[in-house]
Chains A and B, each alone.
Chain A
Amino acid sequence: MGSKETPDLKIILEFGAGAELLFGNIKKRQLSLNGAQKWTIAELLKWMHANILTERAELFIQGDTVRPGILVLINDTDWELLGELEYELQPNDNVLFISTLHGG
């Protein structure tokens, strides 16, 4: 008999103001991440890059973080107040990426 499985970490990803165009034009998705490991925003970005970032990755990722000019909100709060890449995702978190890299 296997050991009891850890439940998945369920979160919601949202994209706004054009950021969705880099992710198959899907504005909102539910994710079930492997609950056995810790998930920081840094880990999440790596996962996104590997799995769902379909178009021109350089417009979203720069080094190991998001490209400057993309705003990140976790549960509608600016990630700059939450530790940015080090923030540890919690069940049912909502992570929103808003692009500002377009004309006004």
Chain B
Amino acid sequence: MPIDCKAKCGNKAALKRPKTGDALCKDCFFAAFEAEIHHTIVSSRLFRRGEKVAVAASGGKDSTVLAHVMKLLNERHDYGLDLVLLSIDEGITGYRDDSLETVKQNRDDYQMPLKILSYEELYGWTMDRIVAQIGRSNNCTFCGVFRRQALDRGAKLLGVDSIATGHNADDIAETVLMNILRGDTARLRRCTNIRTGGGEDSIPRVKPLKYSYEKEIVMYAHYKRLVYFSTECVFAPNAYRGHARAFLKDLEKVRPSVIMDIIYSGEQLRFKDTAKKPVRGICERCGFVSSQQPCKACVLLEGLNRGLPKLGIGKKSKGDRMIAQQNQELALRERANLVKNDF
């Protein structure tokens, strides 16, 4: 009953590759999977010899496989990279505390230094406390905005030349779909880039698994017995992405190449010069990259600290009104206090 490996190595095939439809044995699959990532790294010139690279590690399947493969390829092909693990602790009890244990396992297994940065130390707030303030409707906004900047801060602290993230082909295809559905041309034009950022003021991010299918990542982790953490965040059924994801998985069942096709479509899109383009700048408050003034992280943080947690949610004009109103109330109260003291 089992089919022979297509590579004619004499072994029985273990899986059907979604990307090519080939039936391969475990060893030939490992070789193909790793060779493709190597090809992506080399052909896109993701790294240069001597660079220090942070692997953004969550303990999940993608970053675990990324750390494993980066270490393996760095040694096999002598990239000459100095690899470190960088993790963000959002302060989510029952989720991140457990997944960080997995990251520590990665640190020991791969002999890579690990830096953990927490929201608590960066912002003075854990996600548990933020959720207590904001409830469960906009919490993912805080988490996403803070994580993005936290990685930048961590990378700066570690003095790395780039950050490698575990985004896989399915993630990118999902993001293309979501950005089309939202009409978000700014994100649409950059979401398929294998490298983002990296001007004078920001540390570039690269996606070595950009063309790796999720199925293959999971099969690779399974056959290699890599330990990863697979619990869904306790706060997070990210509803919108969930729908895009379910839709993509249904399409993939009918036509496995759809994931590569959607990425390709995203890559081929060209925008008119008249399409609005965000201007990347530096936040005048915190000094990190932002296309707004002040940056979203600073506005969200100000909201939390003022006791106006909804400040950064929704339109800026609404937020400005909330601040003005609070300032007015504070001024009134202060005047009332002065009067009382005079008396």
Contact = CB atoms under 8 A, between A and B. Distances in A.
Interface of A: 16-18, 67-69, 71, 73, 76-78, 80-82, 98-104
A81 B13 CA distance: 8
A98 B232 contact: no
B312 interface: no
Interface string B191-223: 000000000000000000000001101110011
Contacts of A76: 14, 223
Contacts of A104: 58, 60-63, 166-168, 171, 214, 217
Contact of A100 (B1, B13, B58, B215): B215
B13 A77 contact: yes
Contacts of B217: 104
B253 interface: yes
A84 B167 CA distance: 29
A73 B218 CA distance: 12
A32 B245 CA distance: 36
Interface of B: 1-3, 12-16, 23, 58, 60-63, 166-168, 171, 214-215, 217-219, 222-223, 228, 230-233, 236, 245-246, 249-250, 252-253
Contact of A81 (B15, B167, B171): B15
A68 B231 contact: no
10 contacts: A68-B252, A71-B215, A77-B13, A78-B14, A81-B16, A82-B1, A100-B215, A103-B58, A103-B233, A104-B217
- Give the secondary structure class of A's interface: loop
Secondary structure of the B side of the interface? mixed
Contacts, number: 73
Contacts of B2: 77, 81-82
B60 A103 contact: yes
Nearest to A83: B1
B169 to A, nearest CB: 12
Contacts of B168: 104
B218 A98 contact: yes
B176 to A, nearest CB: 17
Given A17-B61, A80-B15, A68 B249 contact: yes
A78 B16 contact: yes
Contacts of A102: 60, 230-232
B33 to A, nearest CB: 14
Residue with the highest number of chain B CB atoms closer than 10 Å, among A71, A76, A104: A104
Contacts of B60: 102-104
Contacts of A99: 230
Contacts of B233: 103
